[in-house]
Amino acid sequence: MRIVIAEDNALLREGMVLLLTSNGHDVVATCAAGPEVMPALREHRPDAAVLDVRLPPTFRDEGLRAAVQARGELPDLPILVLSQYVEQTYAAELLAQGARGIGYLLKDRVGRVEQFLEALERITTGGTALDPEVVTEILSQKAAARPLQALTPREHEVLEMMAQGLANGAIAERLVITERAVSKHIRGVFDKLGLPPEGGNVHRRVLAVLAYLGNNAPENSA
């Protein structure tokens, strides 16, 4: 896999390069500041990009803005965003463009090699990889204002794992229930969020995750 990394911390940046190359990937470019990101992505057309949310020169949202711009210019580019803290606005803004091929992890996950590599692999196959802490924080901030109140505790659990990017089989394994039961809970989530049947289950999953994150949630009567 050919990867572009944008990270201003030299130690973390080089650590990711070593980690990825030792696992058979090719880091085609590294960036230390926001203005470097898009030129590198345009030049190398990588298979994936790993971007820090906050980059020089302002250390505010350069990485996020680069990710949003990249999704506009290179819509099929999988992007894994790294953040030091849970920044729900950034996660929701990026996912509002579409959850396919997007990951959002806290930086300490990079040290958990298997989780980091699994998240990278998941987004390159069109999945979503959201840090459980990010999902939990967004839920705690947004749930009260959304139709999520209608969900049962089990449906909340299933939706949280959907937001993390887990497939039905993985959800069933985590919750120690059957895939049939998972499918039933997911149908309940779709129904209670008022999601339209058009577009198939993959599209509805994305809409459900967006509703969960508090962006582009479908209108639902009280």
Tokens of 11: 């130690």
- DSSP-derived letter for residue 217 is P
Domains of the chain: 2-130 (3.40.50.2300), 136-213 (1.10.10.10)
The answer to whether residue 218 scores a pLDDT higher than 50 is no
Give dist(CA 140, CA 112) in Å, integer.
Answer: 25
SS3 14: helix
Give dist(CA 53, CA 34) in Å, integer.
Answer: 9
The pLDDT, as a whole number, for residue 144 is 45
Residues 115/89, Cβ–Cβ less than 8 Å:
no
Mean residue pLDDT across the chain: 82
**Distance set, CA 220 to CA 58, 155, 193, 194, 217 (Å):** 40, 17, 7, 6, 9
Closest CA to 208 of 155, 171, 133: 155
The answer to whether residue 145 scores a pLDDT higher than 60 is no
49-102 pLDDT per residue, tens:
999 998 999 888 888 889 888 988 998 899 999 988 766 666 666 766 666 788
The answer to whether residue 219 scores a pLDDT higher than 70 is no
Question: Which ranges constitute the DSSP H helices of the chain?
Answer: 10-22, 37-44, 62-73, 88-95, 113-124, 132-142, 153-163, 168-175, 179-192, 200-213
Q: What is the pTM of this model?
A: 0.67
The answer to whether residue 143 scores a pLDDT higher than 90 is no
Cβ neighbours for 138, distance < 8 A, ≥ 6 positions apart: 88, 91, 92, 212, 213, 214
Give dist(CA 103, CA 115) in Å, integer.
Answer: 12
Q: What strand order describes the sheet that includes 2-6?
A: 26-31, 2-6, 48-52, 79-83, 102-106, 128-130
